[in-house]
Amino acid sequence: MNVGVVSNLIDTYSSMLISASKTPPYSDVGKILEKFSDEVSCLVEVEGEVLFYFNDCFCNKNWFNYDLWFIVAIEHPSQKYIEYLLKILDESDVEAIQWKALDVLANMPESISESAVSSLIKLIQSKNHVWSDEVIKKFFETLVFIGSDAGISFISKACELQNQRINIAARYWFERLSEEE
């Protein structure tokens, strides 16, 4: 792959999305994202560029076009992204990015995302006071989507925790899982 192919594609689609988001009907945004996802899925050897993006964002604290980069990470999952996704969850004041990092983990193959479960559990136990309710809800949804035994077991245990915010989100997903059985 040529260096910058993903960056160039993201620059092109970012401009298109900005324009579409300002012009009714806004349904064009969804069409553009779908087309972007289709084009990204045809690319090969993008891991290096995604890792460079993650590293650069942590150095500069500038998460430009993160939503499009995360689509690339979903379309081309890699074990090497896990470290960065977990690091995002450990950051403060990046709620939207945390939510999307959890979304990436939820949409990766279980064989990749399962390795993040124990770290995710440690993070919610230490970071729940700074995470928004939406990120906490997304955390439990992510555990359900990953589907590992450890994650599902933690959901059950979290229903008994004293932290009301965690307890409510855990109970919601525990009840959904119980309905499926």
pTM of the model: 0.91
What's the confidence (pLDDT) of residue 38? Answer: 97
User: Residue 3: what pLDDT?
Assistant: 61
Give 30-70 pLDDT, tens digit per residue: 999 999 999 999 999 999 999 999 999 999 989 999 999 99
How big is the chain, counted in residues?
Answer: 181
Q: What is the pLDDT of residue 6?
A: 97
CA 70 to chain centre: 7
pLDDT at 23: 82
SS3 category, 175 = helix
Question: Would you state the pLDDT for residue 1?
Answer: 41
User: Measuring CA to CA, how many Å separate 172 from each of 42, 138, 150, 167, 178?
Assistant: 37, 12, 18, 9, 10
Q: What is the pLDDT along the chain (181 residues), one digit of tens a residue?
A: 456 999 999 999 999 999 888 888 877 999 999 999 999 999 999 999 999 999 999 999 899 999 999 999 999 999 999 999 999 999 877 889 999 999 999 999 999 999 999 999 999 988 778 899 999 999 999 999 999 999 999 999 999 988 899 999 999 999 999 887 6
As a whole number of angstroms, the distance between CA 167 and CA 160 comes to 7
Residue with tokens 């599902």: 152
108 to each of 44, 100, 111, 165, how far by Cα in Å? Answer: 17, 12, 8, 26
